[in-house]
A and B are shown apart, each in its own frame.
Chain A
Amino acid sequence: MSQKAHSEKSVKHESAHLHVAGEAVFVDDIAEISGTLYAALYPSPQAHARILNMDLSAVEAATGVVATLTAEDIPGSNNCGPILHDDVILADGVVNYIGQPVFMVIADSYLNARNAVLLADIQYEPLPAVLSVREADSLQQYVIPEMRLTSAGVDEAMRQAECRLKGQLALGGQEHFYLEGQVAYAIPKEDGCLQIYSSTQHPSEMQQLVAHMLQRDASQVLVEIRRMGGGFGGKESQSALFCCAAALAAAKLNRPVKCRLDRDDDMLMTGKRHHFEFDYEVAYDRQGGLKALRLDMLVGAGCTADLSGPVATRAVCHVDNAYFLEQVDISARCCKTNTQSNTAFRGFGGPQGAFATEYVIDNIARELGMDALDVRRQNFYGIQSRNMTPYGQLVEDNVIHQLVSQLEQSSDYLNRRQQVIAFNRNSPVIKKGLAFTPVKFGISFNVVHFNQAGALVHVYTDGSVLVNHGGTEMGQGLNTKVAQVVAAELGISIKRVRATATDTSKVANTSATAASTGSDLNGKAAQNAAQQIRQRLTDFISERYSVAAEQITFAEDRVVFADQSLGFDELVMLAYQSRVQLWSDGFYKTPGLSWDKDSLTGSPFYYYAYGASVSEVAIDTLTGESVLLRVDLLHDAGNSINPALDKGQVEGAYIQGMGWLTSEQLLWNDSGRLTTHAPSTYKIPSAADVPTEFNVSLFENSNVKDTILRSKAVGEPPLLLGFSAFFAIRDAIASVADYRINPPLNAPATAEAILNAIDYCQDASNG
């Protein structure tokens, strides 16, 4: 792509000028209606207990309190679970984790509500609490049945292999830490209707759950979201609790009610990225070729199913990452524990599945004394052969070989490998590490029917255009891309196109903005709507000016036909006066998907996105602290609709993935209380953690599938680029034992974990 094309496509985020001025309106910024009340939720102090008695008299007597609500006040379904109906809104007799909302207080101010909550007098009968996945597994306590994907010849391949390696690995979860906490604002309307502003990635599901809770029709519930202050999956299903709470109170009291969480309560009440524990056994040959992989995944689901089923499915479907695994035996058991119910988080299990295999390959390389890149490369999927995934989908768009070669060159990987080794020989305290990791990530929802979208495009008589679609804006720039698609289709400047708040009364039955599909689905739907309008305008010109349709072009805010032209605004006014419909709906469904959830086979992905990263780190062998020195990323966004936005996704995802695997540590104490429930104790990366050399490029590509403008989804895949930071740290640790010992390093690689692994390697090496 030329520099010029690059910058022309890189239009600014549609809200950038509002963000920087503090003028972008988030849910809590909406001017409140007079009489608005505030809800606060009481978090269970018990991990597992029966509620014997609830005395709320002191709460009700507190300053400013208007009402208290419990499970008994819910007229319909006391559920906010997305798939299984096992997620109660308010506790019904039993509490299942510390932080679970037990009751709700509604008061005349946010502070009065929060103060009043503390006054509850609740008696519990403690029940046995299960806090670890290993314990849950030994009790066979799962939220859904086990999943297993087994190749016919795995036992045989395992037996016959030249080398075998077994081990365990623990991979921590991750708090979303969207900067805007969970919030919903519900306003009662006439005839039993409710309007809800909810910070959610899934307005339609919020609508459905509220309707079921209140025994009302979906048509009575309108959910709107202009933008979220970050989502990352944390507002896909888990916005529902707060949306339902606000809606219940608003419906009961017939007053506007806002439910906004304090950060600590948010972190205590909501689920996180699933933590995993792995048992692996791998068979390989002496050159590093993978022969068979057994991987047993214990998935930390928490206390309910939430999205754990699809998360585990995606984990199973990403164990292969970029590698041809002919013989596998992969199982996933979603362990039920008395902790927060874990949920969607950018990558949705995919990163966890792929991480295990990368760890195994890292081990093999050290066992064989090879550079890990050489092991990785020889196991990549082939182009004509060796291109079938373990779940039976053919990989037809493989660019990993070119992409990796290009990054190998641009990052000067081989030279730097030598430099790192030389540096370490001479540096007893500070050690450097280098790692190169690839990404292949499947795009589409694993549930076929979610892969649909709708849009509305309105052209007004002054030539301005409004587009509305079912996707939600959480910072990723979806509205910007959709507006670009509409502008391109109508041949007009992006300045004419405005995207508006997602609203269940405009586009119905929408899917969550998740699985990286936002632009693919909604972009196509909006394009479809704009195409219909353009077709009508084409027909209009063709008839009025007697020109063939092929002679009519829409470009640069004009329509040109034969030797004439009209400004777009002139054209639409003429069309309006001739009674041409200037608005249209649009619809899209992804073609050719199949998935059998029982056999875990099919072609669940429309295509794959690829990428690779090189990280160089240094570690301090006295304290275990680490620092990123240089990062090189190359990522495949297809024919990027907006390279600036896509680059932003790539580098942001890298840093988020790096944080997950390094400084972000979730800890629970012995009673099951999350002790890292605020930014003071849970550490996401900050500006000083960004390396001084940070090279980020998009790989020149065009989607072989007919996606929107041949682009590729870019939300989740680059999160896996962060792997290289972890493996670079592991490489640095391994240097203390001359790269002969596999450092037993779990994720996250905190300073303490690193120091432990260093000490292990030094001890093993010395003795």
Chain B
Amino acid sequence: MTAADLIQTSQATVRFVLDGEVVNAAGLSPTTTVLQYLREKAYRPGTKEGCAEGDCGACTVVLGELVDGRIKLRSVNACIQLLPMLHGKALFTVESLKSLKDGSLHPVQQALVDNHASQCGFCTPGFVMSLFALFKANAAPDRAQINDALSGNLCRCTGYRPIIQAAEQMASLADSDNWMATPATDQQPIEPEEQALVDLLSDIQGTETLHIQHDDGMQYYAPATVDALADLYLQYPHATLVAGNTDVGLWINKQLRKLPLMISLAGVQELKTIRIDQDAISISAGVSVTDAFAAIQQHFPALKDLFRRFASMPVRNAATLVGNIANGSPIGDSMPILITLQSEIQLRQGSNERVLALQDFYLGYQQKDLRAGEFVQALRIPLNQQQYQMASYKVSKRFDQDISAVCAAFVLGLDDAGKVAHIRIAFGGMAAIPARATQCEAALLGQVWEQSTIDLARARLAEDFSPLSDMRASADYRQRVAQNLLQRFYQQTLNEGTEKPLQLTDLQQVVR
């Protein structure tokens, strides 16, 4: 099929559900963000712009997606969601929450009022929406889950304590007569309100390519099948591929870059699959970081701590794991551990496919082994590694929603003699690409796993990496911490289960 054919079978109207009605949005530039749409076109100014880069959460909204006949609600940052990305989804904003029946506040809103949890009120709508998503997903969230739900929201006034308290109390204000005001689980029978929304969403699920051609010269394609996507990209190899838009959104908002042709993966259902077979877990390009991590974590529980600290909840909900890989930033947090787990990527160019080890994908700063019109279709993590000890550590100025100064990953297999039989070490933040520490690994392989070996291997890291100094850390700090993290991994492999805390999260008072 040619691109011309695609256009003939496409439609140009973005269709989504807002407050129980289908909105047909046409005639807007495809780079219009959901936030701009809400504030400037829909006259719903409750959603605020605090940073326009997905880092403060003042613009948090909730998206509802149709998944197996139910509605799945997730918080996202409206400032880096493009309007066409709403196609086929339901949008909830802070204005959606008050009861339509009597105008009463939603339990989340009432709990915030009751706890004096707003001061200036500018961040509040964003907190309301993050908590709304939590409320709907979890009837009894604990402190760690609350922190996680709020990981993408900044408040400069309250110090968060009353907001956290409100989150602890909100479920007690639930109203069982109202789907919006009831914490729901998948087990419950579907309620009429949810069913109505399911029906509305079912009606607007399209099988056509969404194609927007705006008079500002911008074009946006969202094909519905992988084949159409592959053909389109082959035809327009200079197009910008976009999945979650959590990075491209910053090019648009901050660098004011013009992206004349965008091709979105968002409409391709085939790419939303996670497949687990006997020897591998495969994650397609359209799978969110949230869903991908949930699946990976089941097989590699040691990675839970890293996943918790990856960006923020709304960014993880919007971003895709493959997007993080394909973007190829030297400070992307998923790559070190995925490299050490010997992951492979499946590349697609037109109808051709090839498989590449992830570690070979990165050639240099922002350079990847990608041919014209080729894209990463899926990631494959071999499962036969669960006997290994592994860890991934992130070091940054702040616990949540920060970019790593250093991100380290270790996978270790010992033989019966206590010698290193298998070792994979990779770092982010230490070089122009996420990379393995080959000298360090060489110093470990075949050696007895003991402190003297570690001491030698630590020193070899200086041969592997010459990190940069920037606003996140100095080169010297990065180098020292990289070495110290090897020490940490060593200690953890020895000391698991003993009483001396080896990292901050081992302390009972630290709930994160």
Interface of A is mostly: loop
Scan residues 1-18 of chain A and give those whose CB is less than 8 A from a CB of chain B.
10, 12-13, 15-18
Counting CB contacts under 8 A, is A681 at the interface?
yes
Q: Is the CB of A228 within 8 A of B120?
A: yes
The distance in angstroms between the C-alpha atoms of A9 and B505, with both chains bound, is 39
Counting CB contacts under 8 A, is A33 at the interface?
no
Give the shortest distance, in Å, between A207 (CB) and chain B (any CB): 23
Interface bits B141-175 vs A (CB < 8 Å: 1, else 0) = 00100110011011111111111100000000000
The distance in angstroms between the C-alpha atoms of A759 and B481, with both chains bound, is 12
Q: Is the CB of B507 within 8 A of A180?
A: no
Chain A residues with Cβ below 8 Å from B109 are 17, 20-21
Q: Is the CB of B147 within 8 A of A687?
A: yes
Chain A residues with Cβ below 8 Å from B105 are 17, 20-21
Chain A residues with Cβ below 8 Å from B501 are 427, 429-430, 618
Chain B residues with Cβ below 8 Å from A22 are 44-47, 93-95, 124-125, 128
B95, B121, B151: most-surrounded residue (chain A CB, <10 A): B121
Chain B residues with Cβ below 8 Å from A599 are none
Give the shortest distance, in Å, between B321 (CB) and chain A (any CB): 20
Give the shortest distance, in Å, between B434 (CB) and chain A (any CB): 19
Counting CB contacts under 8 A, is A170 at the interface?
no
Scan residues 715-767 of chain A and give those whose CB is less than 8 A from a CB of chain B.
750-752, 755-756, 759
Q: Is the CB of A618 within 8 A of B504?
A: yes
Counting CB contacts under 8 A, is B500 at the interface?
yes
The distance in angstroms between the C-alpha atoms of A194 and B402, with both chains bound, is 43
Counting CB contacts under 8 A, is B493 at the interface?
no
Counting CB contacts under 8 A, is A629 at the interface?
yes
Counting CB contacts under 8 A, is B496 at the interface?
no
Chain A residues with Cβ below 8 Å from B50 are 179-181, 263, 679
Interface bits B454-496 vs A (CB < 8 Å: 1, else 0) = 0000000000000000111110010011001101100100000
Give the shortest distance, in Å, between B469 (CB) and chain A (any CB): 10
Give the shortest distance, in Å, between A216 (CB) and chain B (any CB): 31
Q: Is the CB of A230 within 8 A of B506?
A: no
The distance in angstroms between the C-alpha atoms of A442 and B161, with both chains bound, is 27
Q: Is the CB of A622 within 8 A of B154?
A: no
Give the shortest distance, in Å, between B60 (CB) and chain A (any CB): 11
Counting CB contacts under 8 A, is A232 at the interface?
yes
Closest to A752 in B: B477
Q: Is the CB of A678 within 8 A of B158?
A: no
With contact pairs A22-B45, A262-B52, A263-B50 given, residues A618 and B507 touching in the complex (Cβ less than 8 Å): yes
Q: Is the CB of B163 within 8 A of A687?
A: yes
Scan residues 220-238 of chain A and give those whose CB is less than 8 A from a CB of chain B.
227-232
Chain A residues with Cβ below 8 Å from B485 are 622-623
The distance in angstroms between the C-alpha atoms of A111 and B502, with both chains bound, is 50
Counting CB contacts under 8 A, is B56 at the interface?
yes
A430, A665, A687: most-surrounded residue (chain B CB, <10 A): A687
Q: Is the CB of A630 within 8 A of B120?
A: no
Q: Is the CB of B154 within 8 A of A179?
A: yes
Closest to A649 in B: B119
Candidates A115, A667, A691; contact of B471 at CB < 8 Å: A667
With contact pairs A229-B120, A684-B154 given, residues A618 and B397 touching in the complex (Cβ less than 8 Å): no
Counting CB contacts under 8 A, is B512 at the interface?
yes
Residues of B in contact, count (CB < 8 Å): 91
Candidates A114, A618, A756, A759; contact of B256 at CB < 8 Å: A114
B94, B116, B119, B487: most-surrounded residue (chain A CB, <10 A): B119
Q: Is the CB of A688 within 8 A of B512?
A: yes
Counting CB contacts under 8 A, is B229 at the interface?
no
Q: Is the CB of B487 within 8 A of A622?
A: yes
Chain A residues with Cβ below 8 Å from B125 are 19-20, 22
Scan residues 21-54 of chain A and give those whose CB is less than 8 A from a CB of chain B.
21-26, 28-29, 31
The distance in angstroms between the C-alpha atoms of A18 and B393, with both chains bound, is 42
Closest to B403 in A: A680
Give the shortest distance, in Å, between A185 (CB) and chain B (any CB): 13
The distance in angstroms between the C-alpha atoms of A31 and B58, with both chains bound, is 20
Chain A residues with Cβ below 8 Å from B164 are 687, 690
The distance in angstroms between the C-alpha atoms of A152 and B140, with both chains bound, is 65
The distance in angstroms between the C-alpha atoms of A494 and B56, with both chains bound, is 34
Scan residues 387-439 of chain A and give those whose CB is less than 8 A from a CB of chain B.
426-430
Q: Is the CB of B51 within 8 A of A663?
A: no
Chain B residues with Cβ below 8 Å from A691 are 509
Q: Is the CB of A230 within 8 A of B509?
A: no
Chain A residues with Cβ below 8 Å from B160 are 655, 685-687, 689-690
Q: Is the CB of B156 within 8 A of A28?
A: no
Give the shortest distance, in Å, between B333 (CB) and chain A (any CB): 14
With contact pairs A622-B485, A751-B397 given, residues A690 and B507 touching in the complex (Cβ less than 8 Å): no
With contact pairs A21-B98, A179-B123, A690-B164 given, residues A755 and B507 touching in the complex (Cβ less than 8 Å): no
Q: Is the CB of A692 within 8 A of B161?
A: no
Q: Is the CB of A652 within 8 A of B158?
A: yes
- 11 A–B contact pairs at CB < 8 A? A12-B113, A16-B121, A19-B125, A22-B93, A230-B122, A427-B500, A430-B507, A627-B504, A629-B510, A679-B55, A686-B401
* A→B interface (CB under 8 Å): 10, 12-13, 15-26, 28-29, 31, 111, 114-115, 118, 176-181, 227-232, 262-264, 426-430, 474-477, 618-620, 622-627, 629-630, 644-645, 647-648, 651-656, 663, 665, 667, 675-676, 678-681, 683-694, 696, 750-752, 755-756, 759
* B→A interface (CB under 8 Å): 39, 43-53, 55-56, 58, 93-95, 97-98, 105, 108-110, 112-113, 116, 118-125, 128, 143, 146-147, 150-151, 153-164, 253-254, 256, 393, 395-403, 405, 470-474, 477, 480-481, 484-485, 487-488, 491, 500-504, 506-507, 509-512
Q: Which 5 pairs of residues, A with B, have the shortest CB-CB distance?
A: A22-B46, A229-B122, A475-B120, A19-B121, A655-B159
